[in-house]
Structure formats: structure tokens, C-alpha cells
Amino acid sequence: MKVHLKNILLQFKQIPAFTDNYLWVLVQNQQAWVVDPGDADPIIEFFEAQQIILKGILITHHHQDHIGGVLKLQDWAKGNGQKDFLTLGPLHPQISMVDRVLQHDDEIDLYPDVRVRVMAVPGHTLSHIAYFLPVGPCNPIPRLYCGDTLFAAGCGRLFEGSAEQMYHSLAYFKELPDDTLVCCAHEYTMSNLKFACFLEPHNSDLLDWAQRAQKLRDQHQPTVPTSIGLEKKVNPFMRCDLLSLLKSAQQHSDKPIVTPIDVLATIRKMKDSFS
């Protein structure tokens, strides 16, 4: 008698959307969780081609390019007889379609032996959250789904939160294992690296990564995910406690810069108008 053995290993799909978004899908045994489906169409196309069932949706924040496809994806799943999926996310009036509001340090069982931890990471928005997937029986490499808080060599604009909030959110990410894959939501890497090299023109790790990233883009390949370990070496917003960054920021500010939060506030404002 043949015994059918299920494949417990997670599969990860990175789906491009719009001009520079990435939608993230976590699949196990033809069931999938989707992170921030700003556009439902490429998700539905992937699901139908692979005969995948929607198990749930994870939302990081309320911006339209992260939630714009949620209702259509929900309707598609219901139209295909799928009724047991969940939609989870932070508390915000524009995310009224969630089945459960998540808070800092909540833990969500996505599959048996697959649990993500919720991290409150305000800064880009006040209610922004991220999802950390640690190493486990089904996942050999830790992953961070960070929405628009952390990018490759950059961080999100401070639309609602403060520099202090963003600093503490990024400091929280720095505590994660260095091999954690940074699954951010946008392909902003080359722009971010240009700014980072402006701030730290003698950072050899940064210059090396800028060359490698350019080769990837020249080949129409994504530059993300990166890793927490790499970001700590090249991302100026994760290096605000360094004297070299403080000196660089001070050169471009007419106000005294004393603390790492001062550094982040200054360089984030600089990045907003950098070209």
C-alpha cells in the first residue's frame, strides 16, 4: 500500500505588481497565505495556475498598494467555495475587512509547526506591523515581512509616525538573526543605494553591494530579499548610532545633531528630496 506523504516545507513566491511592488506568498500543500495583496490579479493568476487555495491574508498597513486587492481576492476565494480563510492585520479604519486585529507580540499559526510573530513597527504609519517567521521544521531560513518599514538600504517615509518611532522599529529589527531574509514590499534598492553611498562614500560593504545590486537590475532580477546582516552593514537608517553617520548628517544640517534619533530624522528628511 502506498502512503501519501505531505510536503511540509514551505514554498515562497515573490510576485511583482504595479511598477515596483512585491507581493509575498507562503505556500504549503497547495494552501497559501498572502502578504499585502495590493493587486489581486497576479495572485489569482498564480493560484489558478498552481491550483492553490487561499488560507489567509496578512496585512502590514493600510496604504492602497498593500490592501487594494484584498476584497477582490476574498471574493475570488468565496466564489471558488473557499470559506475558511482568514484576513489579519492592524487596527485601522481603512482595514475593516480583517477577521482579527493583531497587536505586538501576537503569534499566529499559519500551518502546523509554522508560527509568525507580530511586531508593532510604527514610523511609516502609526499602526504598521511586521511579521517574523523564525526557523522551524518547515522553514530553514528566518524571514521578515516588513511592509514599508524597512527596505533594502532604506526605510519608509515618515507619513504618520516620528523619527523616534522609526528608530526604535528599526532597532527592533536589528535584534533579529543576521540571516533573516528581509522581504520588503518595494524595489527601491538602487535609489536607496545612491543615497547611502552619498552618506557613506567609503563604506566598502556598501560599495560592493551597490555593484552587485546594479548587476541584478541590469539582468532584470530583484535585489530583495536582502538580509538583516547585510542591512546592518549598508543601510544608513540602521546605522544611525555610528559616529560616521552623525558627522555626515551634521554636514547637511544647520541644527546640532546629538542622538541617533537626530541622525535618522535628518537623513530621512534629506532622502525625501534627494535625487
Domain that residue 109 falls in: 103-275
Q: Report yes or no on 5 lying in a domain.
A: no
Alpha-carbon gap, residue 94 to 175, rounded angstroms: 31
Q: Report yes or no on 128 lying in a domain.
A: yes
pLDDT of residue 243 exceeding 60: yes
Instruction: Render pLDDT for 178-227 as a digit per residue (tens, 0 to 9).
Output: 999 999 999 999 999 999 999 999 999 999 999 999 999 999 999 999 99
* CB atoms near residue 51 (< 10 Å): 7
pLDDT of residue 4 exceeding 60: no
Residue 168, all three cell numbers: 526604535
**239 secondary structure, DSSP code:** -
* pLDDT mean over 120-129: 98
Residue matched to cell numbers 534619533: 261
| 137 in the same domain as 18 | no
- Element holding 44 (H helix, E strand): helix 40-50
Separation in Å, CA 209 to CA 5, 74, 202, 262: 41, 39, 13, 26
* pLDDT mean over 133-150: 97
211: CB partners within 8 A, 6+ apart: none
Using the 3D structure, point to which of 65, 98, 131 is the last residue of a domain.
Answer: 98
* pLDDT mean over 220-245: 98
The domain tally of the chain equals 2
Q: Give percent of the chain with pLDDT exceeding 70.
A: 97
Using the 3D structure, point to which of 98, 126, 141 is the last residue of a domain.
Answer: 98
pLDDT of residue 171 exceeding 60: yes
3-class DSSP state of 143: strand
**CB half-sphere exposure, 25, CA atoms < 13 A:** 27
> With bands split at pLDDT 50, 70 and 90, how would you rate the model's confidence at 81?
very high
Mean pLDDT of the chain: 96
CATH number of the domain encompassing residue 22: 3.60.15.10
Which runs of E-coded beta strand occur in the chain?
11-17, 21-28, 31-35, 53-58, 86-89, 100-101, 107-111, 114-120, 129-133, 143-147, 150-151, 154-155, 181-184, 226-227
Residue 122, all three cell numbers: 510604527
| 112 in the same domain as 28 | no
pLDDT of residue 1 exceeding 70: no
3-class DSSP state of 269: helix
| 44 in the same domain as 115 | no
Using the 3D structure, point to which of 43, 70, 98 is the last residue of a domain.
Answer: 98
Instruction: Render pLDDT for 146-163 as a digit per residue (tens, 0 to 9).
Output: 999 999 999 999 999 999
Task: Give the pLDDT confidence score for residue 7 in this predicted structure.
Answer: 65
Residue 253, all three cell numbers: 544640517
* pLDDT mean over 43-72: 98
**CB half-sphere exposure, 251, CA atoms < 13 A:** 8
Q: β-strands 154-155, 86-89: how paired? A: unpaired
